[in-house]
Amino acid sequence: MNRLVWIALASTAALMMGYAQQGPDLKGLVNKEGGLPVIAVPDLLGAGSAQSFTVVFNQTLWDDLAGSGVLKMAPKTLYPKGVPQQPADFRQPPPTAVAARSRQGELVAAPNGGGFWMKDWSNPPASANYLAFGYAAEQNGVLMLFGNLFDLSRDTPANAQMIGKRYLATTDDQKGARQMAHQFAADILALFGAKSLVGTHIYYVHQAGFKTPKEIWVMDPDGQNQHYVTRFNSLSIEPSVSPDGTKIAFTSYAKGSPAIFVFSVDPVRDLRFYNQVASMNGQPSFTPDGKQIVYSSSAGRCCRIFIAGVDGRGFRPITSVGSLDAEPKVNPKTGGSIVFSTGRSGPEQIYMMNMDGADIERLTDGTGEASNPSWHPSGQLIAYAWTRGYAQGNFNIFTMDVVSRQYLQLTHDQGRNENPSWAPDGVHLAFMSNRTGRSQIWSMLATGTAQQQLTRDGLNYSPAWGM
């Protein structure tokens, strides 16, 4: 449903009871695949009881590296037969080994160490630049991973080693193995200038079925560890995360009319947000310093954008009455401007203004419907949902440079895609899609590639990615 229509209906109900021209330059956010370093990541083995944890570890490590946007994975089908587990496994092949020639006459160095020399991995067919390998063991209830990363361009194993580290976890369940894989992946990605998503969280709206309550849930960035935050047995929607990750704000009907709630995250606790008298207060979002919240309210007349303290006090309007203004988001870098959706010029579009409501300008071109603006951490780009003049309701995810107005389409012909939210690393996005027949949370790179489904049970909406 169109957001502006939803706001109007909510207010009434409460009272009665590729590219256009040239895409934005994402260089520095996500590199082109052709220029990515190639990494080989063979499955590690486990000794004794540690073997039962290797499946989840190997899959988690692969997914973290493959979805990073900074590395290209060498296919496992091209790997040598032998796989080293520790640096001592490498041995110099005999000097009698010779190169072979391809049918085209090109000199191709054949694997000559059976997988236990660096050129076995850097030469075709693997053709890797880096090799991540290791092994797992269990001792006295402690799961240990010995992880290594080699630069295959170096001449000896001693010179090639970039990471040689031991990781520890409990053996209580698969969670420890998954956490070790995240840590190993984070150490690898740090060497390539990438930020790890470990420790970040995605808050979202979960509904068990079409006629059941909607509650706020949270999960890890890979879709694991999904669990509830609210248990209002009501309609709770539109989560937003504070910049430091310690609070969430959301809209809930738990007390009748739609109102704003602010919760601390650890421990989960209602911080008591004061809602001004109105038939609807909703769509909250934090300012960059975490001390204020911008939101949409029907106070006076539906609907205006307001700003208040994080406790709801000291509220004041930013926009004037009669425009159906919604979904305000403050520039996270400068704190000096707000993007929002509004129907002031006809169909819903994305606008931008100063924090005092001055210098209002439309960002989208007026065609179709545009909504769900989300700032990139740099404050230079936004992601948003847009029909771009297509059939009503057929939303896709776009990004836009707010200065040049150049935009890039990320999703194509796969159902309805809405509610984009940038990850703290500025390279990934979470979004909602019904491409499988039911609304679910997905993630992808800022190029639109590496799309991954994160939720599968029930219905899930409105992701908000934060620390």
- pLDDT classification of 410: cutoffs 50, 70, 90: very high
- pTM, two decimal places: 0.88
* Phi, psi angle pair for 78, to nearest 5°: -100, 5
Half-sphere exposure of 96 (CA within 13 A, CB side): 0
Number of alpha carbons in the 13 Å side-chain half-sphere of residue 363: 32
Q: How many CB atoms lie within 10 A of CB 233?
A: 10
- Three-state secondary-structure class, residue 372: strand
Q: Give the lowest-confidence range in 26-30, 307-311, 370-374, 438-442.
A: 26-30
Average pLDDT of 438-460?
Answer: 97
Query: What's the average model confidence in pLDDT over 453-457?
Result: 98
Q: What is the DSSP string of 145-198?
A: EEEEEEETTSSSHHHHEEEEEEEEEESSSHHHHHHHHHHHHHHHHHTTTPPP-T
Mean pLDDT, residues 118-132: 96
- CB proximity list for 386: less than 8 A, separation 6 or greater: 364, 368, 369, 370, 371, 395, 396, 398
Question: Which range among 14-23, 323-332, 399-408, 429-438 shows the weakest confidence by mean pLDDT?
Answer: 14-23
pLDDT grade for 432, boundaries at 50, 70 and 90? very high
Count of C-beta atoms within a 10 Å radius of residue 76 = 13
* 3-class DSSP state of 90: coil
What's the whole-number mean pLDDT along residues 142-148? 95
Q: All domains of the chain, ordered by start, with CATH? A: 33-190 (3.40.50.10070), 197-466 (2.120.10.30)
Please report which confidence band the pLDDT of residue 321 belongs to, taking 50, 70 and 90 as the band edges: confident
Give the pair of three-digit tokens for residue 133: 């390998």
354 pLDDT tier (thresholds 50, 70, 90): very high
Do 345 and 353 meet the contact criterion of CB atoms below 8 Å apart?
no
Mean pLDDT of 342-347: 91
Helix (H) or strand (E) holding 282: strand 281-286
pLDDT of residue 75 exceeding 90: yes
Q: CA 126 to CA 230: how far, in whole Å?
A: 48
pLDDT of 83-106, one tens digit each?
999 999 999 887 655 555 545 555
Q: How confident is the model at residue 65 (pLDDT cuts 50, 70, 90)?
A: very high
What is d(CA 217, CA 211) in angstroms, rounded to the nearest whole number? 17
pLDDT reported for residue 32: 40
Alpha-carbon span 52 to 137, nearest angstrom = 10
Which pLDDT does position 107 carry in this prediction?
46
The pLDDT, as a whole number, for residue 116 is 95
Q: At what angle do helices 174-190 and 54-66 cross, to 10 degrees?
A: 30
How many other CB atoms are found less than 10 A from the CB of residue 319?
22
358 C-beta neighbours (distance < 10 Å), count: 8
Name the 3-class secondary structure at 4: helix
Q: Cα–Cα distance between 250 and 216 in angstroms, integer?
A: 8
pLDDT at 146 over 90: yes
What confidence tens digit (pLDDT) does each residue in 220-236 have? 999 999 999 999 999 99
Residue 466: both structure tokens together: 């934060």
Name the DSSP class of 93: P
